[in-house]
Amino acid sequence: MSPASKVVVILCGILGLLLHDPLATQTTLAGTEIAEGLSLLQHRGQDAAGIVTCGSGGRFYQVKANGMVRDVFDAPAVAGLKGWMGVGHVRYPTAGSSAHAEAQPFYVNSPYGIVFAHNGNIVNTPSLRQFLDVDAHRHINTDSDSELLLNILANNLQKTGKFRINEEDIFTAIGDLTRSCIGAYACVAMIAGFGLIVFRDPNGIRPAGIATRKGARGGTDYLVASESVVAQGLGFTEWEDVKAGEAIIITRSNISRRQVATPQAFAPDIFEHVYFARPDSTIDGISVYRSRMKMGDLLAETVKKELAKANLEIDVVIPVPDTSRTAALNCAQALNIPYREGFVKNRYVGRTFIMPGQTQRRKNVRRKLNAMPEEFAGKTVMLVDDSIVRGTTSKEIVQMAKDVGAKRVIFASCAPPIRYSNVYGIDMPSPHELIAHGRTTEEIAEHIGADLVIYQTLEDLVESCRQFNPSIKQFDCSVFTGEYVTGGVDERYLEHIQRLRNDNAKAKKNAQAVEAIEANEGGCNGPMNGSDALIGRSDSIMGLSNHSPKIGATNMPTPNDTIGLHNSWYGQ
């Protein structure tokens, strides 16, 4: 595969914070609150975390590394994140490596100094990469489409040729980006010494919102985040979703909004409600918790029909923790059947369907869950899960239930069969690794060892979300239907994604990344972007200084404080 055809797709959490009063940051650092906020988005990415803050004179301070938020941002690391605004990111990789260089936020120094974090995936990366190389002459250092987006934005701003740009220039640059970049993206950017920018793709596939809080000495603090739970946790109010195709510019003195994209069908990803988002979040006006309650109610209707066809009765409903608990409880209540907690979850094992190999996933299912025999022995049990992806977890869970004495096991999914790749930023594997791809429901039941598998209908899943916001006419349901709302997804692209996403390809790529890091220890021939650039001799390092004592060099060249946009409010 040529370098130009590589792509990295990510499901992530993004966060931006702007504190109104720079003097208040002497006691309250933006970095501290961003780290706290990222911990509330940890469910959206457990592979890597990063924060870049902006302090006096437009100076940037960075900490990012592979690992969980609590491990990356210890007290010494956070203490180095000076400044009054910043951008944070958590991620897991879906294709490509887990190298430090692909941890976000990304940074370019020209023009003006821009820091960028992104959630989603671009589907026309080869043409964008060629344009940046041949026409814009901008160097792309990683396989991440997030870096592509940043450089498209930077190039659009640089084309103005201005020493100082204005809001009109920024809106125009983002509008041009939405017309050239096809796919799903929720983005937050920070321009040195100036403010924050947030924008969302024309279809609004990936989520983002803003909230406000009264500043420490008057004025207004602003928060940008993937989910509303961050606003609640940090004491922000008046949460409002960023509209599809909308761009918002936030400075200390002003907030400006504009619809910059050509109008498209609003189609948020329904899988956010099925699985990824926290239940205490509200996304696009829909309570995730309430939508899952409704999923359970409607699933019960399908269960009644399927049980009657199979001439079966169930004794107990047991959820597969944690995401399916809400739906399972409502389903049990609607069926008038006892609900029981039959599995105890080890909370220190990550999500299994995003783990980097089938063998590791299988092992971690048993580490993750433990069955309580008294809830299964001699009973016909209906297990309820949010979805069935590869089927690895489902198969192991069914076997665990039978091992502790279940007479029959019925497996119910709150989502319809997942038969197609997700190309918009969620790690659905290649189709041949999806258990529902090319199989009937009966064949799926046989494969996972269940006596019966029952799926939620697509119509009921859509209704469970849309009833809370009737203005949403459609959702992105491409993993169930194979219909991609943005266009630009053909068989060639899907074959390309399949080559990247299969487990063998991931294992090979990660092994190559490890070899590259080992080969370049102490030298300067490795990646020179992101935190990989911060490993080795201090005299060979380019880019932002990384202040984490776990990452490496801190004696970086002093940044030029004069670079960046002038903020007329600052210093007055």
Strands 60-66 vs 48-54: parallel, antiparallel or unpaired? antiparallel
* DSSP annotation of 8: B
What does the alpha-carbon distance between residue 500 and residue 401 come to, in Å, rounded to a whole number?
34
Q: Are 79 and 26 in contact (CB under 8 A)?
A: no
Q: Which of 36, 86, 93, 32 has the alpha carbon at shortest distance from 62?
A: 86
Helix (H, G, I), strand (E, B) or coil at 358: helix
Give the contacts of 58 (CB within 8 A, at least 6 positions apart): 113, 192, 193, 194, 561, 562, 563, 564, 565
Q: Are 209 and 225 in contact (CB under 8 A)?
A: yes
Long-range contacts: 170-173, Cβ < 8 Å, 24+? 170/197, 170/247, 170/249, 171/247, 171/249, 171/256, 171/258, 171/260, 172/260
Give, in order, the Cα–Cα distances in Å from 139 to each of 142, 354, 497: 9, 30, 23
Sign of CA dihedral 490, 491, 492, 493: positive
Residue 257, burial from CB neighbour count under 10 angstroms (0-12, 13-18, 19+)? middle
Residue 48, burial from CB neighbour count under 10 angstroms (0-12, 13-18, 19+)? buried
Q: Are 31 and 54 in contact (CB under 8 A)?
A: no
Q: Reply yes or no on whether 465 is catalytic.
A: no
> CA 60 from chain center: how many Å?
24
Helix (H, G, I), strand (E, B) or coil at 554: coil
Alpha helices in 110-166 (DSSP H): 125-134, 145-158
Q: Are 300 and 457 in contact (CB under 8 A)?
A: no
Number of H helices, E strands in the chain: 17, 21
Q: Say if residue 21 carries a ligand binding annotation.
A: no
Q: What are phi and psi of 93, to 5 degrees?
A: -85, 145
Residue 161, burial from CB neighbour count under 10 angstroms (0-12, 13-18, 19+)? exposed
Residue 272 in tokens: 């956010």
What does the alpha-carbon distance between residue 349 and residue 368 come to, in Å, rounded to a whole number?
6
| E strand or H helix that includes residue 60 | strand 60-66
Q: Which of 478, 421, 17 has the alpha carbon at shortest distance from 205?
A: 478
Is the previous residue joined to 202 through a cis bond, with omega within 30 degrees of 0? no
What does the alpha-carbon distance between residue 223 and residue 196 come to, in Å, rounded to a whole number?
10
**Residues marked as binding?**
323, 385-386
Binding residues for Mg(2+) are 323, 385-386
Tell me which residues are annotated as active site: 12
